[in-house]
Structure 1
C-alpha cells in the first residue's frame, strides 16, 4: 500500500460528508440538551447506552471449555454458563430468584437488576456460587436454588509468613526480626537497618498515604521466602541521600484549614542522589547474610526491585534495566555464595526498550520467553532457564509479536498475539496465532481484518474472541483453539440506544507522515449534529507515547473515550499515532529517541490537513488540541512550536521539562543520567515564548506521578515571556482529572468559548453538567 504526502485513505464503508460546504458561523450557545448528551457520553456513563462491548470469560478449572461470563443488557442482564464441547449454554443462575432470596435473607430489597455479585466464585463442580453482598458472604446452590449466609473465609496468611507456616518476619525500626508462629518468640536477624536505611521497605507511592491506605512508608514489608522456608530474600533500601519532592494538600477532606504536606523520595532525570536497593539473602538457621555480587540498584520510581526464588530454592532470579537503558538484564544469583551470573540480556541501539519488553520465566519447563527488537521488530526468543542458552526464535519477520496468551506444553506450542503480519491491513490490529516452541508452523487463528481481544482456555482447546473495529461493533465468538474455526456465536454488541442519540460511529483513516513515505493511522469522530454545508472545529486528542499508542482500535476502547463528549458539543475529534510511538518497527519507535520535543507533531498537522482536504466538514482553520500527562506536554509543545495551526490548547498534568519528571520514564527516551543539550532544546520552558493562542494549564495539586511543579515552572516561563494564559489547579486532584465533572465541564467550555467563539451556558444552568 503506497502513500503520498497530502493524500488520505479512508478505511471505512460509511457514508462520507464530502459535500459542498460554506463556512457557517456558530453563534448560539450550546443547548442544555447538548451538555446533557455530552455527560451521557462520558466513559463512566457510556455503559448505559451500550451493551456487550466486551465479554470476559471466566474459565472453570478442570473442565475443558467450560466458562461463564456476565452478559450486560438494558432490560435483562444475566450470567451465562457455556459448555464449549457441546456448543451449549445456560443461565449460571436465575437472576430474579437470587435477587428475591437475597432481599428476604438480608432484609434489604434490591430493585436494581443490574447489580452484580461481588467476588463471585463458581466451584469446579458448577453446583455452588459464593459471593459477597451487603458486607456478608453468601452461598447459592444452583440445583436447589437455596441461599445461605456462610462464614467469611479465614484471613490469608501474611506475605511475611514462611511457606511451612512456622515463621513470620517483622520489621522494627528498619531491622528484620524472625518470629516463631507457635511460641511468639522473636530473634533479630539484622542490626544495620534504620528508618533511613530500612530492610524490606519499598518506595511508597505517597497517594497510598494521602488516601489513607497506609499511615507511613514503613507499614509495608516486602520480602520473599524461599520455597523450602530456609531463607528469605529482600533488600535494604538506602534513603539517606535520596532527593525528594513534596505535595501540598490545600483543602484536606477532614475540613482542617491548615494545609498538609507529603514528602517522598522521587528521582528526576539525571539525579545522582537516588534511593538505592541492595539485595540480600538471609539464612534462617543462623542468620547468615549473603550479599549478591551486584551493585545496588538505583530506584527511579515507586516500588521495589524485581526478584524471585527459583523453584529449587537454590537461586534468586533478578530482573533489572541498566541505568540509561543500555541493556535489560536477567541475573541468576547463587543463594549460598551470592555469585551473580548474567542469564539473558537485551541490548539494542540506541537503547533497550524497557517499556516494550516482556518475559516469561517457566522454571518447571526449563523455559524463558524473552522479547528483543534488536533485529528491527519485537519478537519472542526461547531460552534455557538453567544455562541461559538461546534455544529458538519463537517468532520472526517484519511484524511485531504482542502478548503470550497461553502455553500448550503437551503439543509444544504457544498461543500469542501479533500485529502487522497480515498484508493490506491496519498494522495495529491484534491477531492471535499458534506457533511451535521451535518457531515452526505458525498459524493464524483469527483471520478477520478486525482487532481481536482473545481469551484462551487453560488447555488451549478454545478461544473466546471479542472482534471489532472502531466502526464495527463487537462480535464475540467461540473458536476452536487449533484451527481458529468459529464454533459458536456468543454475543453481539447492542448500541441501539447510542445510535438513537444521533451518534455517528468513528471512522478509521490512513494517511502519510511528514516524511512523505511512512503510513500513519488515525480515527475521526464526527460532530453528532454535523450538517451539510457547515464546517466544524477540530480537536486533536494527543498522546505521543512513546511507550504506548493512543488511537483506539477496538470498538470498546473507541467508545470509552474522552473524545465522545466533544462530539455532542459540535466538535470533530481526531486521534493520530505519529512516528515515535510503539507497536510497530524499531525504526518507527526510534524517531522518538532524544527527540520528544518534535516527536510526532508535524505528523499530526500533516494528517489533519490531509483529512480536512477530503472532509469539507472539518474546519482546518479552527484546530484545537488537548492531552494529559505526556499528552499535556505534547499539547503545550504543539501550541509553542506550531502556533499558526493550533489555536486553542488544554494541557493537563503535563511533564513540561523532562528534567523535572521521573527518571524511569524520561531517561528511556532522552538518555541519562548524563543529560545532553537536547533536554534544554525539548523543554517547554524554553519554547513558551512562542505562544500565540489560548492555552489552559491544568494540574491536580496531589499529582503523585508528575509533580505540580512541572506546570508551575511552565507558568513561570510564560510569565517571564509576558504571555497570556489560563490555569486550573484542582484541589485534592491527582494525576487523573477526568473523573471530576467540574474539570470536564471547564474543558468543554474552554473550547466552546475560544475555538467555536460561542458563549457557554453558565455552570449552574439546570440540566447541564455541574460539579458533583
Structure 2
C-alpha cells in the first residue's frame, strides 16, 4: 500500500512539474479548451424570489434555494420522459405561472443573433412533452403572459399555437423572403439595434401585451432595399461536392450607408378578432422603430427614431385603434446611444426609467406615466452601464456603473431621494449582478485581469455572501502552474494632452535590459472597450504571443467607452481620424520605453480593428514594420446604414468624412508589410472591402500578403479554420518581427 501511495505521489508530482514547464499551444486555446472559463449557465429566478433554476447537462432543469443552496427538486428531466422526441435542449423559458417550459433544440444560426430552432413544450401538470410545430423549424418562439399560447415565426409569417386545444392559427400571410418580414428583424435591425441587457441580441420583433389579448409586432417591407450577393463555393457545406462546377449564390437585403432601408409598420394583432390594426407612427417612412414595449396598463409603447438617430420619440398607442400620442422625446446634438433602448423600463405604478446622456454622462432618469420627467435617479461624472430594476418595497434602484474607474464596474443601489445609497459589490474589478425576482438575493459575476469568473450568491438586505457558485479553481491552478503572462495596466498622455488607458503583456522571464518586438492589438470602435480590469475572453492569443517573445500592448483611443459623452463622441462625422491618431501616438510612446524594439513593431485588429490597422499603418509610416487586418472595413460607404449613419450621417451630406478617413484613399502610404484576411461569405463586413483595398495597393505598388477563407462569415470559424487562421497570423508576425 505504501509503495502504491509513493508511486501515486511521484506521478502527481511529475504531472504538475510537466504542466509547470509546458508552454501554451494554439491547440490549448482553440481546440482543447485548456483555458476554458466556466460560469453559471441558464440561471433563472423563480417568481417567489427565493428559488432559482439552472440548466444542467442539457437534460435537466434543477430548482435550488437561494438561501441554502440546497437542490430542492429536478423540475424537468428529458431522460425521464417516456418516448421523448428529444434527447437534449440548449435553452429554456418558463411560462409566467411556471407550469410550462419552452425548450429550445436543434438551434441553427441564420446571422449573428438570429436562428431557427425546434421548440418543445413541457406541461408540468399533464406531464406531456409536445412539439410546438411539426411543419418545419421556427423562430422567435415566446409564451403569452397567461401561458395559454406561443407565438412564433416561420417563413416570415407569424403563427400562434393555442396550448389548450393544440390548434395553430396563422396571423400574417404576406411574408416572403427578401420582401416582407413579420415579427423578426431585418438584417440591419438585428445587427445594429441589439440590447445591451440581452446578450442573445435582437432576434424577434414581437411583444405580447400583459393581458395576453394582443401581440404587437413590426412588419418590415424590404422590397426596395438593395440586395447583396455572396458567391458560395462547395467549401464545408452539408452537400459538399469538390467538383461543383457552378458555385451557388446567397442573396439578401443589405442597406448600405445612404441607401434605402426597410419601410416599417407597427401592427397590433388582436387575438379575439384575429385582426392586425396598423399603429399610427406618423407620415414619415424613412425612420426606425427599434423597439416596442407594453406599459403595465396595456398601452402599447412605440420607440420611433429619425434616420439621423439624434431624436427618439416615445409614443403611447391604443392597441384597439392604433391611435398614438407622444409621451416623451429624447434629443442629442450628435446621436442617441442605442443603450437607451435596453435600459427603458416600466415600474409597477406605470412610471418609467430611461438612460440618457443629456448632461454629458450616461445617467438614469425617472418619468411619470404621462411622460413628465420627475428627475434624475443617478448623478455624477461617471457612466451608468446597466439598469437592473426597482425594488418597490424598499424604494431602491439597482444599477451597474463605472464610478470608480473606467477600467472597472461596480453594482450600486440608490433611492429616489438619494438618502439611501451604497455599493453592493466589494471586489475590485468587473462586477455584474443578476437579481432574484423580489430583489431579496443576487448573483454577482466577478472577474478581474488576474481572476477568472468568480460567481457568488448574496443576500441583498445585509449584503452578505452566502456561498460561491463557481470559482474556476482548476483554471486558476492551470494559469499559475503554466506561468501564463499577465496584463499590466498603464496610462500615457498624447502630444495633445489626452490621457489614454492601456495594458501590456510582457513575455515570460521579462528582462527590462532587453528589447522586445511589439504587437499592438486593438478594436477601437465607438463605445467599445478592450482595456478593462476583467478576465474578458481569458487566456488567448495575446498571452500566447507574449509567451513567444512579443510584448503585446492594447490602447483604447478616443471614441471608446465609459469616459463620458464628449470622449466617446469626438469621432462623430469622422470615424477613424482620432482613433488612428491615438494608435500612432501609442506606438510613438512605446518607442520611448527602454525595453521596446522600435524597429520591430506591428499592429493588428479585426473588423473595426482591421479598419484601424490600415489607417494606422498609413499614418504611421515606418513606425509599423508589419500589420494584420482581419475582415476590415475599408470604406464606410460599404457598411450598413444604421451603424454607419449613426456616427457619420449619410455619404450624401458627409462625403469628406467618409473619404478622407477611408483606407482606400491612402493605400499608397503603407510602408510595412500587411497581411489582409477576410471570409468570402462575410455577411457583415463584405469581402468587397478587402478586394477594393487590395486593388488600391496593387495600383500603388504596395506589396502585401492575403488570405481569403472560403464560405466563412465575419467570425472566420468552422472545422480547422480557427487553427489555420491563428497559425498563419503567428507565423507572419514571427517572420516579420523576430
Q: TM-score, normalised by structure 1?
A: 0.74
Whether the aligned pair in 1 keeps the contact of 2:454 and 2:471 (CA below 8 Å) is: yes
Residues 306-338 of structure 1 deviation map (CA, whole Å, 9 limit, x = unaligned): 32444544x421123321112123222233443
Q: Aligned to 1:741, what secondary structure does the other structure show?
A: helix
**Equivalents in 2 of 1:167, 1:488: separation in Å?**
38
Distance 1:395 1:483, change over 3 A: farther
Deviates more, 1:337-346 or 1:364-373: 337-346
> Tell me, what secondary structure is at the counterpart of 1:723?
coil
Give the 5 Å matches for 1:117-516: 152-153=129-130, 155=132, 198=180, 200=182, 202=184, 204-205=186-187, 233-252=216-235, 253=237, 254=239, 255=241, 256-271=244-259, 273-281=260-268, 285=273, 287=275, 289-295=277-283, 297-298=285-286, 305-313=290-298, 315-354=299-338, 358-362=342-346, 364-385=348-369, 387-419=370-402, 421-422=403-404, 426-472=405-451, 475-488=454-467, 492-494=471-473, 495-516=476-497
Cα deviation, residue 190, structure 1: 7.8
Partner-residue secondary structure (3-state), 2:612: helix
Tell me the residue number matched to 1:523. Answer: 503
Residue of structure 2 in register with 1:213 after alignment: none
1:361-389 CA distances to partner (integer Å, 9 max, x unpaired)?
3264313211111101000111123x111
Give 1:461 shift.
2.8
Instruction: Give the equivalent residue in structure 2 for 1:61.
Output: 46
Residues 157-209 of structure 1 deviation map (CA, whole Å, 9 limit, x = unaligned): 98599888999999999999999997989899889x88775362645559x9x
Q: Deviation of residue 413 (structure 1)?
A: 0.9
Distance between the aligned counterparts of 2:423 and 2:153, measured in 1? 52
Residue 585 of structure 1 is matched in structure 2 by 564
Pair 199,501 (structure 1): closer, same or farther in 2 beyond 3 Å = closer
Residue deviations 1:645-669, cap 9 Å, x none?
Answer: 1221111111110111011111111
Report if the CA contact (8 A) 1:355-1:547 is conserved.
Answer: no
Q: 1:698 to 1:196 in 2, by over 3 A?
A: closer
8 A Cα contact 1:197 1:236, kept in partner: no
Within 1, Cα distance between the matches of 2:275 and 2:37?
A: 58
Match of 1:631 in 2: 609
SS at match of 2:384: strand
- Give the Å deviation of 1:492: 4.2
SS at match of 1:636: helix
Q: Who is 1:551 aligned against?
A: 531
Instruction: Report the CA distance between 1:626 and its aligned residue.
Output: 1.0
Query: Aligned with 2:442: secondary structure?
Result: strand
Residues 120/571 of structure 1: CA separation in 2 closer, same or farther (3 Å cut): same
What whole-Å deviation, never above 9, does each CA across 1:354-411 have from its counterpart, x for those lacking one?
A: 35654333264313211111101000111123x1111231101111111122431211
Query: 1:75: which partner in 2?
Result: none
**Contact preservation (8 Å) 1:639, 1:691:** yes
Q: CA deviation at 1:416?
A: 0.9
Find the aligned partners of 1:574 and 1:269 in 2 and give their Cα distance.
33
2:213 and 2:280 mapped to 1: Cα distance?
17
Cα distance in 2, alignment partners of residues 200 and 117 from structure 1: 26
State the shift of 1:574 in Å: 1.1
Show CA shifts across 1:200-252 (max 9, x none): 2645559x9xxxxxxxxxxx996556566665544443333221111111235
Is the CA contact (8 Å cut-off) linking 1:290 and 1:336 kept in structure 2? Answer: no
TM-score by length of 2: 0.77
SS of aligned partner of 2:681? coil
CA deviation vs aligned residue, 1:433-480 (integer Å, no higher than 9, x gap): 011145442211224432223333333233333434213455554444
Match of 1:641 among 613, 619, 640: 619
Separation in 2 of the partners of 1:705 and 1:310?
35
Distance 1:317 1:67, change over 3 A: closer
Unaligned residue ranges in structure 1 (runs of 5+): 1-32, 73-77, 107-114, 140-149, 209-219, 757-772
Q: CA deviation at 1:581?
A: 0.8
User: How does 1:721-732 map onto structure 2 within 5 Å?
Assistant: 721-732=700-711
Q: Which moved more, 1:476-485 or 1:359-368?
A: 476-485
| Residue 706 of structure 1 pairs with residue 706 of structure 2 | no
Residue segments in structure 2 that go unaligned for 5+ positions in a row = 1-19, 107-117, 191-202
Describe the shift of the 1:340–1:44 C-alpha distance in structure 2 as closer, same or farther (beyond 3 A). Answer: farther
Are the aligned partners of 2:105 and 2:119 in contact in 1 as well (CA < 8 Å)? yes
Q: Name the CA distance, whole Å, in 2 between partners of 1:251 and 1:170.
A: 32
- The structural deviation recorded for 1:627 is 0.7
Shift of 1:292: 1.2
Which stretch of structure 1 is more off in the superposition, 464-473 or 251-260? 464-473
* Structure 1 position 537, deviation (Å): 1.1
Cα 1:184–1:443 change in 2 (3 A) is closer
Deviations 1:33-92 (A, max 9, x none): 9997231452664x524665x4568355256555577999xxxxx99997554xx55678
Change (3 A) 1:163 1:38: closer
SS in 2 for 1:559: coil
CA 223–65 in structure 1, closer or farther in 2 if over 3 Å, else same: closer
**Deviation at 1:102?**
8.4
Q: Deviations over 1:573-620 (max 9, x none)?
A: 111111111222111112211232223233334345445645x43323
> C-alpha root-mean-square deviation of aligned residues, in Å?
4.9
CA distance in 2, matches of 1:186, 1:731: 42
* Higher RCO by CA contacts (8 Å cutoff, separation 6 or greater): 1
Aligned to 1:598: 577
1:15-54 equivalences under 5 Å are 37-42=24-29, 45=32, 47-49=33-35, 54=39
Q: Give the aligned partner of residue 217 of structure 1.
A: none
